[in-house]
Structure 1
């Protein structure tokens, strides 16, 4: 597969993954462009791997993490949870989705990456472990901690260790 074929087939999915990791459409496009430009330089070696998509996704996750490390400060959400709408309001579903997304964005980088790769990209633990360069047990630990944190912050009772 040539680099051009790869980008035309997987480019939109990479931008979507970057958008979910960064939470910002413009930053996602910049991040994807940066990663693809670095991948282009190494494409012969990347194309020879069994799963070039795993390699490029790993590059994307690592580039996002590096960007966050370089950043001097993070944005903080101003709206509190007291602003939560009541059931039956017109914008309840959208407001709840926005609130949940703010909570996901506040998670540590690895936990957010695991949730995005698992629930948005629909990848299994073994593939996520390859992308994040860790063990499947570590992936499950990050997922468990992230979901526990989200449940606690969103006000959902714990499920006592059962998988969602």
Structure 2
């Protein structure tokens, strides 16, 4: 029987719930997370005992001095930090599932931090795309198509982040 398992899992920053659930199921099946790649899409597990664990993702491009200690004092273990401000936290529990984000407003703040990162990058992509178009379509045809795909991906990400924030805001109002 294998003692190490590798799982590739693509997840979206505005809604990491699916990835968190996958990690929690792996722990429940006795697979302990021991390594995450820099981009947070390759997860490596080792065989261990089954445990009920909560995983939670946070995005903090600039952490304050007490950020790590606040989580650690509350029993959270940092399993990964990478990809420009992403943090993956783990906390075992027995009865009530712990949450890092206890209010929708804190999730909205996390998503707004993502928007502050992605929006300028989107405008930079658009600027480079326009320069490529002006320079001549024939010379850079393949690169223009790459930028079309990237711009489409960014539009999708920004739209999803805003839609998710609207959903969270409407839940607050109810």
Between Structure 1 and Structure 2, which shows a larger proportion of strand residues?
Answer: 2
Whether these two folds match at TM > 0.5 is no
Query: Taking structure 1 as the reference length, what is the TM-score of the superposition?
Result: 0.32
Between Structure 1 and Structure 2, which shows a larger proportion of helix residues?
Answer: 1
Query: Taking structure 2 as the reference length, what is the TM-score of the superposition?
Result: 0.30
